[in-house]
Amino acid sequence: MEQLAVGWRAMVLDRDANADVRDLPGIAVRWADCRFAFWNCVTLTDVDADAALLEQRLCQAADIMRAKKHPGFLWLFEDLLDDEARAGLRTAAEKAGLEHAFPGVGMAGDLLPLPEPSHPDLTFVRVTTDEQLRAYADLNSRAYGFPLEDGRDGLVGSALWKKRVHAYLGLRDGVPVTCAGTVEAAGRLFVVLVATAPECERKGYGEAVTRKALHEGARATGLTRATLHATAAGAPVYPRIGFRPNSPMHFYGLKG
């Protein structure tokens, strides 16, 4: 949760210097209100929240989300809830007007430095131009089912992604087919926006480019610990690199 709050502050303010970035009691708002839904984020920050507090926070989060122009997600870390709140989460979310979008899991590991990665099919290129950033955005849009323009609205033109994020494309025969980035966040390397073209999945591309982003990020920063938030599809990849699951996650959107 803390990695999300720190890392997404930079991402959201990079997209819009006037973005809604607030730390409220029990809620962190990181909302660029752009078309890229991952930059529109609310997360709950209470530790050991009970059922009553969870219900209150979910209603507050939903109200914040309803006031925005563009849709986004509530990122909820299950291990921040007590047993009663966890058992009642589904009902409380529905009562607040939220619907489950997809599951995820938080992961972390003291795994750096990693050896120089390679893959027989791929050439790795660091993202330093808007053309490369557009390719990175398009890979994420295709992988997560967003319109291409939504991903581009989140990334194209970003100085942060071309300078501070260790963002890499994996090229096969000169064509971008996979991507991953790492960025320093509160003494950790935070893995962000890993994606592979749908037609190129299950070839080890995502693991290889993630290893590249971690290798280069660690070499530049000297950091030894890394964290990430994995979707269900990506979760099996990261333990092979050295990550270990910690908190189950849930992504919620407003009911349509």
Q: Are 57 and 139 in a shared domain?
A: no
- Please write the tens of the pLDDT for every residue from 139-196: 999 999 999 999 999 999 999 999 999 999 999 999 999 999 999 999 999 999 999 9
pLDDT band at 127 (very low <50, low <70, confident <90, very high): very high
Q: What percent of the chain has pLDDT over 90?
A: 98
Domain count, the chain: 2
Q: In this structure, what token pair is assigned to residue 109?
A: 């590991």
Q: Are 9 and 98 in a shared domain?
A: yes
- pLDDT at 256 (0 to 100): 82
- Please write the tens of the pLDDT for every residue from 29-72: 999 999 999 999 999 999 999 999 999 999 999 999 999 999 99
Does residue 186 fall inside a structural domain?
Answer: yes
- Please write the tens of the pLDDT for every residue from 195-250: 999 999 999 999 999 999 999 999 999 999 999 999 988 899 999 999 999 999 99
Residue 84 has pLDDT above 90, yes or no: yes
Picking from 55, 26, 31, the residue whose alpha carbon sits closest to that of residue 42 is: 31
Q: Are 75 and 36 in a shared domain?
A: yes
Picking from 4, 34, 2, the residue whose alpha carbon sits closest to that of residue 16 is: 34
Does residue 178 fall inside a structural domain?
Answer: yes
Q: Are 23 and 83 in a shared domain?
A: yes
Alpha helix (H) ranges present in the chain? 2-15, 51-66, 83-87, 89-96, 130-144, 148-155, 159-163, 205-221
Residue 102 has pLDDT above 90, yes or no: yes
- pLDDT at 234 (0 to 100): 87
Question: Which of 50, 77, 105 is where one domain is finished?
Answer: 105
